[in-house]
Structure 1
């Protein structure tokens, strides 16, 4: 059986705001990603991997994640499942202003597996913060998601945002994989190969050379 480094599953901001509130996830399909989050939590529990649930909060009266509001509450997919630690945060990174780093260090955890929302914001920021702390990171691509955006800089669909960030993360920031690949690895299968900036660039260049002029 494959020996895996000590890891924890970090479930970020799976709150009603992203499902029935003012910031709905557009891609992947929210019901599908929620099911994957639940599957990952169940698999972690079965494998003895600690589960950390993160909850984002803003001051009362703000339009999203106002503490005490329905949108701020954890979604039932997460709230109904056991967890080992709850982190309340106010910033994008689950490490900023919280006890998460200390909690992980006390347990000898060297790898964080990240699921939850949003792909391009709290997931991405938490992954990069983890790397600065010397932790390895994994991202469950189908257990995350993004909304669409439009502002004075332009517009991007939820799918464009999510897929672009997954590609960038796999270029060296994290090992990006499907939830089922991660679950299989917990059961002894090899982990998918980690990426790098060089390999990602070379693959893109090779693909471009194959395109018709």
Structure 2
């Protein structure tokens, strides 16, 4: 197993009044992201920082704006590769796949934002490409939505996506669990859709 850490879109926009991540609160997720980056550096795990860019004039993530900039806690830490993306997946329109392949990476640990959008798109594409994926539930986060399909709180969105990830696409764990696994070796396993459903129906 050879890991890389993907730090996805930890940009000032998510810490502003314009587009704030709400669950888990950034007062929890940001320190955990910092701890994971520090542990990865100490363990010689490559760190890829991903930054989302939108066109000038966009209400969020407009390239060159303060909201677009990496959060200072990310900017002050070193990284091995910087990926600039314009789509939710960190793979779409970027050199990420080639960069990982050149280094023999087969396992991706994801932290950052948002659980249900860029983390999800990256997770699904990585899983389909054959990578083992780990998502740290307290080092990521969501915000609430309301549209013609209905509404959902940040907690609901984050929780449901985490359950779906664990059922098929990724191993979901806390920062503490990931750090323990790093010290002890090995990797957490994702579940499967059949057993996840049976447990929900009280059949397992």
TM-score band by shorter chain is over 0.9
Q: What is aligned with 1:171?
A: 167
Q: TM-score, normalised by structure 2?
A: 0.97
Counterparts of 1:130-149 in structure 2 under 5 Å?
A: 130-149=126-145
Q: What is aligned with 2:34?
A: 38
Aligned-pair CA distance for 1:131: 1.5
Q: Distance in 1 between matches of 2:81 and 2:126?
A: 17
Unaligned runs of 5+ in 1: none
CA-to-aligned-CA distance 1:113-157 (integer Å, 9 cap, x gap): 111000000000001111121111110111000001111111100
The reply to whether residue 103 of structure 1 matches residue 93 of structure 2 is no
The SS at the match of 1:206 is: coil
Aligned-pair CA distance for 1:192: 3.8
The reply to whether residue 201 of structure 1 matches residue 197 of structure 2 is yes
The reply to whether residue 119 of structure 1 matches residue 115 of structure 2 is yes
Q: Distance in 2 between matches of 1:195 and 1:25?
A: 27
The reply to whether residue 23 of structure 1 matches residue 35 of structure 2 is no
Unaligned runs of 5+ in 2: none
Structure 2 residue aligned with 1:183, among 158, 179, 183? 179
The SS at the match of 2:201 is: helix
The SS at the match of 1:120 is: coil
The reply to whether residue 72 of structure 1 matches residue 72 of structure 2 is no
The reply to whether residue 150 of structure 1 matches residue 146 of structure 2 is yes
The reply to whether residue 88 of structure 1 matches residue 84 of structure 2 is yes
Q: Distance in 2 between matches of 1:189 and 1:81?
A: 25
Q: What is aligned with 1:12?
A: 8
Q: Distance in 2 between matches of 1:135 and 1:192?
A: 13
The reply to whether residue 59 of structure 1 matches residue 55 of structure 2 is yes
After the TM superposition, which segments of 4 or more aligned residues of structure 1 sit over 2 Å from their partners? Answer: 189-194
Q: Considering only aligned residues, what root-mean-square deviation do their CA atoms show, in Å?
A: 1.3
Q: What is aligned with 1:159?
A: 155
Question: Max radius of gyration: which structure?
Answer: 1
The SS at the match of 1:119 is: coil
Q: TM-score, normalised by structure 1?
A: 0.93
CA-to-aligned-CA distance 1:90-116 (integer Å, 9 cap, x gap): 000000000000000000000111110
Aligned length: 204
CA-to-aligned-CA distance 1:167-208 (integer Å, 9 cap, x gap): 00000100000011111111115544421111111110118x
